[in-house]
Structure 1
Amino acid sequence: MRENGTGGRYSRKQKGTAAEQAAVMYLTSQGYDIIKCNWRCRSGEIDIIAELEGGLIFVEVRSRSGNPQQGTPEESVNTRKIRQVRNTAEVYLHATGQEERQVSFDVISVLLNDDTSIAALRHIREAF
């Protein structure tokens, strides 16, 4: 049973937060500058916006825990999600006057243990 210290299960939000924190720590260790986390607008949310070597990187963080038969976290990034992230990135670029910036879209895949510790993390650069 997955417990959060109070006898209950970890919520989806708690798991997502753990995965995003791991992704931020990883990206920072790789030399990325984190600009924003969980940037929201009407069209959606960008998990992490970072900079590296003058480029702007929009990062989608996906996590899974428990049953490996569900597939890998990165397999959950479908066409609808890609379109939503790209549209949201366009809104961000326009809102911040950065339409001319070089951009890329990365995915960070995080496998979580039952206690929300990180079992594995995979960074897929220019995923879409």
Structure 2
Amino acid sequence: MSGGPPEEFYSRKQKGAAGEKAAVRYLSAQGYNIIDSNWRCRSGELDIIAEYGEVLIFVEVRSRGGSPLQGTPEESVDERKIRQVRATARVYLHMKGQEERRVSFDVITVMLNEDLGITSLHHIREAF
């Protein structure tokens, strides 16, 4: 018997939260300074905002369960999502008075097992 309900009982939000938590742990362990997470404005949401050296990094986290029918997490970062993240990052930089800051857009993909445990995590630096 497993430690939790079968995968289909977890909501998309729960899966996303599990992936983001894993991404924060990973980035922190790699020496990134986490500035903010789930930052929202009218144009969208930024999953994780981190610093690494002088660079401000906007991290898009994509999580998937075990079903290959959903496609890979990487495939879910389409042109529409890239435009939204870039637009939201511009708002963030403007609101923080950091328009001249050097930035990077990274993607972290997380594959989850049926108990929301992490089966794999992949960090794509400067993804877009």
Is the 1:23–1:108 contact (alpha carbons within 8 Å) kept by the matching residues of 2? Answer: yes
User: Which residue of structure 1 aligns with residue 56 of structure 2?
Assistant: 56
Partner Cα distance (1:104, 1:20) in 2: 18
- Structural RMSD (CA): 1.6
Deviation string for 1:36-72 (max 9, x for gaps)? 0000000000000000011000000001103123221
Partner Cα distance (1:4, 1:84) in 2: 34
Is 2:93 the counterpart of 1:93? yes
Is the 1:4–1:10 contact (alpha carbons within 8 Å) kept by the matching residues of 2? Answer: no
What SS is found at the alignment partner of 2:22?
A: helix
User: Which residue of structure 2 aligns with residue 125 of structure 1?
Assistant: 125
| TM-aligned CA deviation for residue 4 of structure 1 | 4.5
Q: Which runs of 4+ in 1 moved over 6 A?
A: none
Partner Cα distance (2:52, 2:18) in 1: 23
- Structure 1 unmatched ranges of 5 or more: none
Is 2:68 the counterpart of 1:68? yes
User: Which residue of structure 1 aligns with residue 45 of structure 2?
Assistant: 45
TM-score normalized with structure 2 length: 0.93
What SS is found at the alignment partner of 1:115?
A: coil
User: Which residue of structure 2 aligns with residue 36 of structure 1?
Assistant: 36
Partner Cα distance (2:12, 2:116) in 1: 11
Is the 1:3–1:9 contact (alpha carbons within 8 Å) kept by the matching residues of 2? Answer: no
More off after superposition, 67-76 vs 33-42 = 67-76
